């Protein structure tokens, strides 16, 4: 099936909107006639909503799943072009992500992971373009440089962050850590710049800004510390947990499993391409109104829409103040992710950084397409932000600015301009996590993010289940 989202450019076709994806659900809805009242209505079919909806359906609840895009998986979906997956959003997974890993095991997909990197042949080097010019170095030198720079960056406690955030899944275990949410990455850089070589300065900033896809002044130093802790306070694990293992068949090959399992219960009603506009609490139930005018009724609603579009839905009764303020602030991730298929097999083993000038600032050889071309994945952030759908020529130039390549195809989805996302994965500006989101676990459960996704899904489904338990006890 073809999604209306995403873009593809080839010399022959020029820029075309829409890409094929195995995650597109057809028909887009299985509702002939809406039930009078669902047990739970889930808003969003990203992994958070999808997991919770599946578990609710398995529990025997009558579930309605409403999703704005035409495809499942939220900000993680793959286009599947000539049998090769280009990941439009979230890509990499690891056993270091406990909740994600649990689902991978559930669907027996452990052996379907493959490596993004392959340094076995080709140019086998890292290209660093900084304000001082361009030069190549070995991947060993790249790793050494990144590790050294990152360790200086996070070393606020003489323990590379282990003392200040000992338990990454209980992030405020040491409450002292909260003070670092007052600092931006720019603030932190000014504390340590005298300790950094020019190369270290460029690479640490490029790596951290790659994670936030924002600018140093809008990126919370605390949130990066949290990522670092989640990666076992270790550069090698950062690479392993963030950018090493991906699904052979793409993220949509994973997301579809949740949907199929939920569908098989017979308890799942769904409507894709159905953005929600109003969620209204009445005396006895919740009314959910779609933009189309359709109205659905449920005993409860679980919203798992991205933080940055939360305020585009009218919640009546209103959300908690902290939650509303958090949605007003929003997260800062404006990632521009661009795939290049190029006729340069030797680039399979290439990696590169072009910072701060590059409109695409970080890229790696990510695979070999069935034609034998190299697939390069490239990332841009909020500085000099590209809108590839508006300016494909600039985008092609930004790829060439990373390293010279013979382009056959460009594939992308612009998350920042997607009205149902308004950004890519969650990354917080200073103050957001500790001042607005930190009013207990529950307030976080509305927001999805790649790092928090499974945990939240677990909480959401657990809530549904315990409520069901209560009902059954009271019967």
Binding residues among 421-460 for a copy of itself as defined by CB under 8 A? 441, 454-455, 458-459
Binding residues among 209-248 for a copy of itself as defined by CB under 8 A? 232, 237, 245
CB of 474 to a copy of itself, least distance (A): 10
CB of 257 to a copy of itself, least distance (A): 10
Tell me the torsion sign for CA atoms 55, 57, 63, 69: positive
Rule CB under 8 A: say whether 261 interacts with a copy of itself: yes
Of 180 and 245, CB closest to a copy of itself: 245
Single residue of 8, 44, 59, 253 touching a copy of itself by CB under 8 A: 59
Q: Centre a 10 Å sphere on the Cβ of residue 101 and count the other Cβ atoms it contains.
A: 15
Select from 108-116, 176-184, 401-409, 428-436 the region that touches a copy of itself (CB under 8 A).
108-116
Rule CB under 8 A: say whether 147 interacts with a copy of itself: no
State the Cα–Cα distance between residues 376 and 86, nearest whole angstrom.
10
Question: Angle, to 10 degrees, between the axis of helix 453-474 and the axis of helix 98-106?
Answer: 70
Rule CB under 8 A: say whether 321 interacts with a copy of itself: no
Single residue of 15, 31, 34, 58 touching a copy of itself by CB under 8 A: 58
Task: Kindly state the tokens that stand for 222.
Answer: 């605390």
Single residue of 2, 15, 28, 101 touching a copy of itself by CB under 8 A: 101
Name 173's bridge partners: none
Single residue of 11, 32, 170, 419 touching a copy of itself by CB under 8 A: 170
Of 417 and 459, CB closest to a copy of itself: 459
Select from 62-70, 316-324, 335-343, 467-475 the region that touches a copy of itself (CB under 8 A).
467-475
Q: How many CA atoms lie within 13 A of 284 on its CB side?
A: 3
Single residue of 15, 37, 95, 391 touching a copy of itself by CB under 8 A: 95
Select from 202-210, 281-289, 304-312, 463-471 the region that touches a copy of itself (CB under 8 A).
463-471
Select from 74-82, 197-205, 257-265, 400-408 the region that touches a copy of itself (CB under 8 A).
257-265
CB-based burial, 263-302: b 16+ in 10 Å, e otherwise: beeebbbbbbbbbbeebeeeeebbbbbbeeeeebbbbbbb
CB-based contacts of 435, cutoff 8 Å, min separation 6: 181
Q: Where are the beta strands (DSSP E) in 144-271?
A: 245-247, 268-271
Q: Where are the alpha helices (DSSP H) in 231-346?
A: 235-243, 251-264, 321-329
């Amino acid at each position: 099936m073809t999604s209306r989202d995403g873009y593809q450019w080839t010399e022959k076709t020029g820029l075309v909107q829409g890409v094929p994806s195995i995650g597109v659900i057809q028909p887009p809805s299985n509702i002939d006639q809406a039930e009078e009242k669902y047990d739970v209505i889930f808003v969003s079919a990203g992994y958070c909503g999808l997991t919770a909806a599946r578990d609710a359906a398995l529990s025997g609840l009558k579930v309605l799943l409403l999703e704005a895009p035409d495809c499942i998986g939220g900000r993680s979906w793959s286009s599947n072009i000539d049998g090769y997956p280009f990941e439009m959003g979230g890509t990499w997974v690891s056993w270091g992500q406990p909740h994600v890993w649990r689902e991978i095991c559930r669907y027996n997909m452990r052996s379907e992971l493959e490596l993004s990197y392959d340094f076995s042949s080709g140019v086998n080097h890292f290209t660093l373009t900084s304000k001082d010019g361009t030069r190549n170095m070995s991947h060993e030198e790249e790793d050494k440089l990144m590790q050294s720079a990152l360790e200086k960056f996070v070393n606020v406690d003489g323990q590379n962050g282990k003392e200040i955030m000992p338990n990454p899944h209980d992030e405020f275990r040491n409450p002292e850590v909260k003070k670092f949410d007052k600092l931006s990455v720019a603030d932190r850089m000014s504390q340590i710049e005298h300790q950094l070589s020019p190369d270290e300065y460029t690479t640490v900033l490029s790596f951290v800004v790659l994670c936030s896809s924002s600018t140093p002044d809008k990126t919370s130093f605390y949130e990066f510390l949290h990522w670092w802790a989640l990666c076992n306070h270790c550069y090698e694990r950062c690479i392993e947990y963030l950018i090493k293992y991906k699904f052979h068949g793409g993220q949509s090959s994973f997301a579809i499993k949740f949907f199929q399992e939920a569908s098989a219960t017979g308890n799942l009603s769904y409507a894709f391409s159905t953005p929600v506009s109003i969620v209204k609490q009445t005396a006895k139930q919740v009314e959910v109104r779609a933009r189309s005018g359709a109205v659905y009724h449920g005993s409860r609603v679980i919203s798992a829409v991205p933080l940055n579009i939360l305020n585009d839905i009218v919640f009546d009764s209103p959300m908690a103040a902290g939650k509303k303020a958090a949605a007003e602030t929003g997260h800062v991730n404006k990632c521009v992710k661009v795939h290049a298929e190029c006729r340069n097999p030797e680039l399979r083993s290439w990696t590169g950084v072009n910072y701060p000038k590059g409109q695409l600032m970080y890229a790696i050889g990510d695979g070999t397409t069935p034609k034998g071309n190299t697939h390069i994945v490239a990332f841009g952030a909020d500085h000099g932000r590209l809108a590839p759908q508006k300016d494909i020529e600039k985008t092609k130039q930004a790829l060439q600015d990373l390293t010279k390549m013979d382009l056959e195809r460009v594939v992308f989805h612009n998350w920042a301009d997607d009205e149902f996302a308004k950004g890519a994965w969650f990354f917080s500006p200073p103050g957001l996590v500790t001042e607005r989101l930190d009013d207990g676990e529950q307030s976080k459960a509305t927001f999805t993010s790649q790092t928090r996704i499974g945990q939240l899904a677990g909480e959401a489904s657990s809530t549904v289940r315990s409520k069901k338990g209560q009902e059954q006890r009271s019967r």
